[in-house]
A and B are shown apart, each in its own frame.
Chain A
Amino acid sequence: MGEYILEVRNLKKYFQTSYGTVKAVDDISFEVVKGTTMGLVGESGSGKSTTGHVVVGLFPPTAGKIIFKGKDISVPLEKRPKKIKRDIQMVFQDPASSLNPKKIIRDIVGLPLLVHRMVETREELEEKVSKLLELVELPPEDYMYRRPGDLGGGEKQAVSIARAIATNPSFVIFDEPTSALDVSIQAKIINAILDIQEKFKLSSLFITHDLSLMRNISSHVAIMYLGKIVEIAPTEVFFQKPMHPYTQMLLSSVPVLTKEEEELKPKGIESVGEIGSPIHPPKGCRFHPRCPYAIKGMCDKKEPMLKEIEPGHFVACHLYD
């Protein structure tokens, strides 16, 4: 095991709303090993995006710690040292909202460079931005002075990625960067991300709802359901033996193209019910109302803890007690 670049310890994030307290993230812990990618998988309402936003500092955690390179950074963004802000970057989900429609691409990608005083003159800025645009395969002379409105979704997301790596960070959070894109464009963007990760020895947190995509990009996977992590494992181990009933349900719901993929899907489990409310989550195991294997008097009473069932493979489920 290499050293950890990011450790999340008992992280909680609650939001006060007029309906009550939304427990978006409720006591989760995980680590990201330096130089690897952790895939954070879940459906809407699972708290996966909130986790990303809290780690990057957009919202302070309600409780728990975020440790980055051994330093506690669980403070609001304004209080984080500039060096940390330069080192952790994020690519957001919605390409349409990720780029300021009123600015030209040079100024969008160049912003982090200016903020961190990494360039002095306009020529220097343009030179650096050109290099960044080349990394994401956008010919600089065509794109530099255009506005986001003229760009397709994939091109916008490529610009977002260029902006995120402008300051040469060591950790990037990708929050569903391709969920709004067509498959052929998704393929381009994912390949660009993979290249950049390799070139810059980037560590990352890759948030997605797409298990097929996750398999192609991350070395570890954490599955979230209603604010909790239900299963963590190295990707290969995970696909050999998905253990949590929710994970199995999720996997069985993935539409696939080929026979080999069909064989990976767990048999005998079928998607039923809907995700519960994060304001009043079900008692005990949060998945028990949808779980075909729920044990009466156990799963609806006691909350299961994450336990290491086999080396590196953690599951929170009473079936494995």
Chain B
Amino acid sequence: MNFKTRVKELLIAMELRKKWYRFRRSPLSIIGLVVSLSTIVLAVFAPWIAPYPSHAGFYTDFSNAMKPPSLQHLFGTDEFGRDVFSRTIFGFRYSLMMAAVILTLVVPVGVILGLIAGYYRERILGKSIMALADIFIAVPPLVLALSICSLTTPSAFHAMMAVSLMWWPWYTRLTYNITSSVKEEYFVYAAKVTGASSWHIMFKEIFPNALGAVLTKITLDVGWVILIGASLSFVGLGAQPPTPDLGTMVSDGAKFLPDYWWISMFPALAISYIILGFNLLGDGIKDAFEG
């Protein structure tokens, strides 16, 4: 038993090594990994890293308002005298948390519906799930989110709900496509012939084959969810002040362009930084699972 477990561990390790090789073949993937990890580290340890953690909340120091970037305030200060650098770091925290909440809601629902729809593609069940998904996809995502947010009171919570509502069908689509092709593979036939349950076939045979694509999409989506969230905040429908949301920061700072460029520029660059990082990482994960 002991020997066998060791062999098993070795083989699992080999599989990971193969994936890691495929991943690191492209230097861009490594950049993506470094960038995404850095945002995660900044987000998690924001209170310890940010030089002025208290500036993330209600804080005013008008004597220091609108200061350009300096050694004390790397990214300068805003109209309330808050340190833009500290707020940007807390902005990472808020953005990543929003992405995590939305994706935890959306991914399981979307994936399970996609598996069911793909597996019962010929039946009414599968067709109706896909029809529903298509309806949601047909509505331009930002418009849907905007209308939902404008119907309710603008808040971070409502913004997240709105983004979730428009996001699940993409996971359903993705899993549906994979499921409908994988279910014609002979190994699925073999499982059916031997009498395995539909539940087993969907989750144990088909799902592992969709995992790579789902993980890739999740990584790529982190960036997009953050972007949409920021857009909602930018138009005032997302997080409300004084939450250090990157989108809100860009929109508030935009008023002072171009003279006080640092107030909006640095949060905007931070948004690009996150999106770029997770997109490159997503490409790397795709490489690791393919081929």
A–B contact (CB under 8 angstroms): yes
| Contact mask for chain B residues 175-209; partner A; CB cutoff 8 A; 1 contact, 0 none | 00000000001110111111111001000010011
Binds A, one of B3-11, B24-32, B225-233, B261-269: B3-11
User: How far is A82 from B192 in the complex, measured between Cα atoms in Å?
Assistant: 11
Residues of A within 8 A of B194 (CB): 85-86, 89, 111-112, 115-116, 163, 167
Chain B contact residues: helix, strand, loop or mixed: helix
Is the CB of A187 closer than 8 A to any CB of chain B? no
User: How far is A139 from B212 in the complex, measured between Cα atoms in Å?
Assistant: 31
Does B193 lie within 8 Å of A57, measured CB to CB?
yes
User: How far is A126 from B3 in the complex, measured between Cα atoms in Å?
Assistant: 13
User: How far is A90 from B192 in the complex, measured between Cα atoms in Å?
Assistant: 11
Does A141 lie within 8 Å of B7, measured CB to CB?
yes
Does B8 lie within 8 Å of A56, measured CB to CB?
no
User: How far is A167 from B195 in the complex, measured between Cα atoms in Å?
Assistant: 11
Residues of A within 8 A of B185 (CB): 97, 100
Is the CB of A144 closer than 8 A to any CB of chain B? yes
The answer, among B1, B4, B192, B208, for a CB contact under 8 Å with A100, is B208
User: How far is A88 from B197 in the complex, measured between Cα atoms in Å?
Assistant: 17
Does A97 lie within 8 Å of B187, measured CB to CB?
yes
Interface residues of A in 89-133 (CB under 8 A from B): 89-90, 92-94, 97-104, 108, 111-112, 115-116, 123, 126
Given known A-B contacts A141-B7, A144-B4, A100 and B193 have beta carbons under 8 A apart: no
Which of B15, B186, B205, B211 has the largest count of A CB atoms less than 10 A from its CB?
B186
Which of B15, B185, B190 has the largest count of A CB atoms less than 10 A from its CB?
B190
Query: How many chain A residues touch the partner (CB < 8 A)?
Result: 38
B131 → chain A closest CB, angstroms: 21
Does A92 lie within 8 Å of B4, measured CB to CB?
no
Does B209 lie within 8 Å of A101, measured CB to CB?
yes
User: How far is A108 from B189 in the complex, measured between Cα atoms in Å?
Assistant: 13
Given known A-B contacts A141-B7, A145-B4, A86 and B190 have beta carbons under 8 A apart: no
Is the CB of A147 closer than 8 A to any CB of chain B? yes
Residues of A within 8 A of B3 (CB): 141
Given known A-B contacts A58-B189, A98-B190, A103 and B208 have beta carbons under 8 A apart: yes
Does A163 lie within 8 Å of B190, measured CB to CB?
yes
Residue of A nearest to B5 (CB): A145
Residues of A within 8 A of B187 (CB): 97-100, 108
Does B195 lie within 8 Å of A92, measured CB to CB?
no
Residue of B nearest to A81 (CB): B195
| Contact mask for chain B residues 50-82; partner A; CB cutoff 8 A; 1 contact, 0 none | 000000000000000000000000000000000
| Contact mask for chain B residues 208-220; partner A; CB cutoff 8 A; 1 contact, 0 none | 1101000000000
Does A92 lie within 8 Å of B186, measured CB to CB?
yes
User: How far is A89 from B189 in the complex, measured between Cα atoms in Å?
Assistant: 11
| Contact mask for chain A residues 135-176; partner B; CB cutoff 8 A; 1 contact, 0 none | 000000100111100000000000010011001000000000
Residue of B nearest to A107 (CB): B204
| Contact mask for chain A residues 64-87; partner B; CB cutoff 8 A; 1 contact, 0 none | 000000000000010000100110
Does A111 lie within 8 Å of B191, measured CB to CB?
yes
Does B186 lie within 8 Å of A111, measured CB to CB?
no
A71 → chain B closest CB, angstroms: 17
B209 → chain A closest CB, angstroms: 6
A34 → chain B closest CB, angstroms: 21
The answer, among A90, A101, A144, for a CB contact under 8 Å with B193, is A90
User: How far is A86 from B209 in the complex, measured between Cα atoms in Å?
Assistant: 26
User: How far is A147 from B15 in the complex, measured between Cα atoms in Å?
Assistant: 9
Residues of B within 8 A of A163 (CB): 190, 194
A98 → chain B closest CB, angstroms: 4
Given known A-B contacts A92-B186, A126-B4, A145-B7, A85 and B193 have beta carbons under 8 A apart: yes
B127 → chain A closest CB, angstroms: 17
Does A90 lie within 8 Å of B190, measured CB to CB?
yes
Interface residues of B in 212-260 (CB under 8 A from A): none
Residue of A nearest to B189 (CB): A58
User: How far is A146 from B211 in the complex, measured between Cα atoms in Å?
Assistant: 19
Residues of B within 8 A of A57 (CB): 193
A178 → chain B closest CB, angstroms: 15
Interface residues of A in 30-87 (CB under 8 A from B): 53, 56-58, 77, 82, 85-86
Residues of B within 8 A of A126 (CB): 4
Does B192 lie within 8 Å of A58, measured CB to CB?
yes
Residue of B nearest to A57 (CB): B193
Does B209 lie within 8 Å of A102, measured CB to CB?
yes
Interface residues of B in 31-61 (CB under 8 A from A): none
Residues of B within 8 A of A123 (CB): 1
A132 → chain B closest CB, angstroms: 14
User: How far is A112 from B191 in the complex, measured between Cα atoms in Å?
Assistant: 8
Kindly list the 6 A-B residue pairs having the minimum CB-CB distance in the complex, ordered from nearest: A102-B208, A92-B186, A85-B195, A112-B194, A98-B186, A97-B186
16 pairs, CB–CB < 8 Å, chain A vs chain B: A53-B189, A58-B193, A85-B193, A88-B193, A90-B193, A98-B190, A99-B187, A101-B209, A102-B208, A102-B209, A108-B187, A111-B196, A112-B194, A115-B194, A115-B197, A141-B4
B residues near A (Cβ < 8 Å) are 1, 3-4, 7-8, 11, 15, 185-187, 189-197, 200, 205, 208-209, 211
- Contacts A58-B189, A145-B11 given; 4 further ones with Cβ under 8 A? A92-B190, A100-B187, A104-B11, A126-B4
